[in-house]
Amino acid sequence: MTTQLRLNADVVCADGPAGHLTDAIFDPATEQVRHLVIEMNGFGHAQHLVPVAVLDTAAGGRVRLRCSLAELARTEYFVS
């Protein structure tokens, strides 16, 4: 199965809407996605660095994660 990531896709956690996908971080050696950058909804719109292992599905402009909103909020901040 092929997973299609689309920038600005809506991101949904197990317990509700989370924000949107702003970037993907690749491993240069394998050319595989290692992390997703998710801008969360809410005050400040913080961006979080999320391991790709948390990805459930991505299709049709929607990314679904296998974590709760609280778990997503505890991931590392992404600073560009």
- CATH number of the domain that residue 55 is part of: 2.30.30.240
In this predicted structure, what is the pLDDT of residue 2?
Answer: 53
pLDDT digits (tens, 9 = 90+) for 47-67: 999 999 999 999 989 999 999
Any domain includes 2: no
pLDDT at residue 1 is higher than 60: no
The Cα–Cα gap between 32 and 41 comes to 27
Any domain includes 26: yes
- Give bridge partners of residue 5 from the DSSP assignment: none
Any domain includes 68: yes
Any domain includes 57: yes
pTM for this entry: 0.90
Higher pLDDT, 46 or 12: 12
Maximum CA pair distance of the chain? 36
> Which domain covers residue 27, as residue numbers?
10-73
In this predicted structure, what is the pLDDT of residue 60?
Answer: 85
The Cα–Cα gap between 56 and 34 comes to 14
Total structural domains within the chain: 1
Cα–chain center distance at 2: 17
